[in-house]
Amino acid sequence: MSVLDEILAGVAADLEQRMARTSLDDLKAQADRQNPALDPMPAFRADGVSVIAEVKRASPSRGDLAPIKDPAGLAADYAAGGAAAISVLTEERRFGGTLDDLRAVRGQVDVPVLRKDFITTSYQLWEARAAGADMALLIVAALEQNALESLVERARSIGLTPLVEVHDEEEVERAVEAGADLVGVNARNLKTLEVERSTFSRLSPLIPDGVVKVAESGVRGPHDVIEYAKAGAHVVLVGESLVKGDDPRASVADLVAAGVHPALQHRW
């Protein structure tokens, strides 16, 4: 069993418990009470490179990263540093996150919020929207094609912007077939959990013009932002280096500043 399979098994078990506690109709009612979802795409399509800053306590590859007792406060620092969006891990077993973290962040920031989890059902999309998310991660490797296409469509129908994550050439093709206009290339190999920074530069040319490209994993500092941008990235998603740093606001500001380098303007 792969690491992804193990994670998905745990996610399914936890999801079953949540579904027993909260009906889909209740979730939909909660979602209806939320403000309209924010659209991240105008910022992502602007000149330069946008930054999605992540609230992330742990990961399967690195174990515990940071306790993050105040996810809302951390998100506020990210936003003050210029982050275009905030990503919140909500998977509990391997990443130490919860939907409560997402709710707390939503109540604190005015930028779009991404639910980052292993979403395989429309119930989880409604959970995301009910908690105030504006975006939802869909991992191609975790989904059959019919399910991927259905979830992309369902996400949009309830106001969520789907970020479709890929790891190889076949998955890029599947994401495009599913109609994704926001594609994240994760440089972390799901089998070895190692980061291969060349993954983005290899897959980026296969993603059609007009699709927003997000570089995920492997951003250690401003230099990596510039290198990913040169390879075609419009957005970078950064977690580990931010939560382990001493000054998240300043760290985000440094990444944002790198993203507005004159050489990176007018790339659309």
* Residues designated as active site: 54, 56, 116, 165, 186, 216-217
Name, in order, each residue with C-beta under 8 angstroms of 88's C-beta and a sequence gap of 6 or more. 54, 55, 71, 75, 97, 101, 102, 105, 113, 114, 115, 116, 133
Residue 93 CB neighbour total at 10 angstroms: 15
- Strand segments, DSSP code E, in the chain are 50-55, 58-59, 63-64, 85-89, 113-116, 135-139, 161-166, 182-186, 212-216, 235-238
Length of the chain: 268
d(C-alpha 48, C-alpha 235), whole Å: 9
187: exposed, middle or buried (C-beta count within 10 Å: 0-12, 13-18, 19+)? buried
